[in-house]
Structure 1
Amino acid sequence: MSMKKILVLTDPSENAPDLTQAAAKLANELHCDVLLFSVYQSIPMTTFYGASPWINGNDASWQQESNDKLSVIAFELRAFILLSLPGERWRPEVTFHCEAGDLSDNLKNVLESENIEMIVMGASKQSGFKHFLFGKNTNLVVSNATRPVLILPGKFEFKDVQKVLFATDFSVSDLKAVNLLAKYAEALHFDLELVHVEDIEDKQSEENVSKQVFLNMLEDINHPNLTHLEIHGKNVVQSLKRLCSRQGIDMLALLHHQDALLIRMLKSSTTKNILDQQTLPVIVFPSKMK
């Protein structure tokens, strides 16, 4: 099997060294290579009555321009890795690729053809959470991903991550994400805390059964700094936000699937306003994760 890679989704027109350098540091710790990837919109063929289709010559130049810009970003990232990252154990290799067309289709192709450990992308300049929840590109990526998606705000460094909070509803499907998070916690040296926000007005019987099954299976995950807690609140997002602030949480993690209570609440207009100024990085584990 080929070497695992961190897939960095980048826009060649906006060289973002904070994003690519953070991805390189992550790759260094996880012993992965880095694949820079972008898409560009091709120019459709122009047809004439009674004549064959004619392809606008600018399409090739757009591809060349995208390749040239990605090449510069890759060169600068290789220089950063050589000068800034220790190479005694591992030093990531950097490759790049761009394709014409739709982001979701191209992402599926890359995930099928490459051995991707994680997808890394930048958050909106306005707000990390706002872009995560409502940004078109981020929604496309999260909807089509089969590997974890890490969404980073600007000026982010992995050395700042000491505690990660995983929001759970005690679903057994969360355990696959927790297992992988525990692996990342060991490599990146952060503490992992699981939290469940309990609505005090909900009926408890069914949830208590799920909770006990979840906690029993959680005992099989071998990580010394894994803890869990429950908090009470009528609003999941407000409760999580207060907890992140109170406990100095550096990153929020969650499982993304269609019927998740957390995802439903995050999509509401009220919580959108609450999280507009949120700047924490978010790692999303898709339910169809391979």
Structure 2
Amino acid sequence: MKDILFLTDLSKDDTHIYTMAVNMCSQTGCNLQVLNLYNGVPYVPSLDAGSYQAKWYSDAYDDHREAFKELIEKIEQVSASLPGNARRPQISSVLTEGDLGILVEEYTIGKDIALVMMGAGQSGVLSHILFGDAVRAVIQASSVPVLILNPGSQSIKVNTKVIFATDFNENDLAACSYLSFLGERLGFSIEVVHVKSERGIHPEEIAREQRFVDEMKLLGKKNLTYRHLMGGKIFGMLEQWSEILEAGWIALSEHHRPIFVSIFKKNTLKTAISAQKKPLLIFPEKFQKDEHFF
């Protein structure tokens, strides 16, 4: 049994994220690990104000620890309030100091994590803008998919769609398997899409597309479909198509460079999540083809 790792900055906007995390754990058979970093500024005692500074640091840490404790109690209440015979996941928590990227790397490699969930961040350690250092650090360090949610994001609905953008990379087939497994348990189907340039299609691309589609069919997953879209701006096309399908999530791989360049340099990630309230599921570069997911 694997766990879902929820990264929190103790933001008041976290409620929808941990509620979704508890529900996803219940439906997938996972437990929930909650991680928060407290990177306070350590003060070196001095002759003039050392004792005051040390007390200030201690009080600040105590307040932070109390806030984290209250959050865990709220998450446990959500788990306890699940209806009927629903599985209630175990909740574990860690409050620590350190480098976010290093911790995420350690957790996703050695602690049986199936998914990382995090918010857009309004305060605290994840207070960087959505396309800033914290999200980059998590995506670059993680070996498992990262689900990023805006404060307005909602749990995915049964019988809805998830759009997954592919450039026919080999690891995209592993991502399809992962999404299919998740879809079977959460009740969504996956439309795998490739955006083709209007300037023409090369024979090599047609051959790569056909090989990918054939291999995707060999997965034998009924909740996977494929189509290609014609257009110039890749992420813009994904946004438009997600609106047409009323998709719940947009998913893509970090290695899909044209999309990631537009995301992190043109702020389209902020538009996709903030304006449309759609969660974004990212498969990191370290996500491996043969990895056991759940």
Q: What interval of TM-score do these two structures reach, taking the shorter chain for normalisation?
A: 0.7 to 0.9
- What are structure 1's unaligned runs of at least 5 residues? 50-54
Change beyond 3 A, Cα 1:106–1:79? same
Deviations 1:11-38 (A, max 9, x none): 1354622111111001111111111111
Alpha-carbon separation, structure 1, partners of 2:229 and 2:168:
13
Q: Which amino acid aligns with 1:98?
A: L
Change beyond 3 A, Cα 1:131–1:165? farther
Alpha-carbon separation, structure 2, partners of 1:21 and 1:72:
15
Change beyond 3 A, Cα 1:82–1:270? closer
Alpha-carbon separation, structure 2, partners of 1:229 and 1:260:
20
Other-structure match for 2:140: 143
Other-structure match for 2:176: 178
Alpha-carbon separation, structure 2, partners of 1:229 and 1:84:
37
Other-structure match for 1:277: 275
1:199 aligns to 2:212 (yes or no): no
- Root mean square deviation of aligned Cα: 2.6
Other-structure match for 1:95: 92
User: Share of identical aligned residues, percent?
Assistant: 24
Deviations 1:171-217 (A, max 9, x none): 22211111101100111110110111100214412211211221121
Contact 1:43/1:58 (8 A) holds in 2:
no
Alpha-carbon separation, structure 1, partners of 2:269 and 2:70:
37
Other-structure match for 2:224: 226
Other-structure match for 2:22: 24
Q: CA deviation at 1:114?
A: 1.7
Other-structure match for 1:106: 103
Contact 2:156/2:248 (8 A) holds in 1:
no
- Alignment size in residue pairs: 276
Other-structure match for 1:122: 119
Deviations 1:233-279 (A, max 9, x none): 1111221121111121111001112x622212333438568646232
Contact 2:9/2:121 (8 A) holds in 1:
no
- SS of residue in 1 equivalent to 2:88: coil
Other-structure match for 2:254: 256
Alpha-carbon separation, structure 2, partners of 1:168 and 1:243:
14
Alpha-carbon separation, structure 2, partners of 1:155 and 1:87:
29
Q: Which amino acid aligns with 2:150?
A: P
Alpha-carbon separation, structure 2, partners of 1:131 and 1:285:
20
Contact 2:196/2:231 (8 A) holds in 1:
yes
- What are structure 2's unaligned runs of at least 5 residues? 48-52, 123-127, 289-294
Alpha-carbon separation, structure 2, partners of 1:249 and 1:200:
24
**Greater Cα offset, 176-185 or 160-169:** 160-169
Deviations 1:99-148 (A, max 9, x none): 112211222233344211111111256xxxx954x233112111111111
Q: Which amino acid aligns with 2:145?
A: P
Which of 238, 241, 256 is residue 239 of structure 2 equivalent to?
241
**Greater Cα offset, 135-144 or 78-87:** 78-87
Deviations 1:70-122 (A, max 9, x none): 2211112111211234435x210111111112211222233344211111111
Alpha-carbon separation, structure 2, partners of 1:24 and 1:160:
15
The correspondence of residues 77-96 of structure 1 with structure 2, limited to 5 A, is: 77-88=75-86, 90-96=87-93
Alpha-carbon separation, structure 2, partners of 1:117 and 1:229:
28
Other-structure match for 1:52: none
Contact 1:67/1:97 (8 A) holds in 2:
no
Change beyond 3 A, Cα 1:15–1:65? farther
Alpha-carbon separation, structure 2, partners of 1:255 and 1:227:
17
Contact 2:153/2:278 (8 A) holds in 1:
no
**TM-score, normalized by length of structure 2?**
0.84
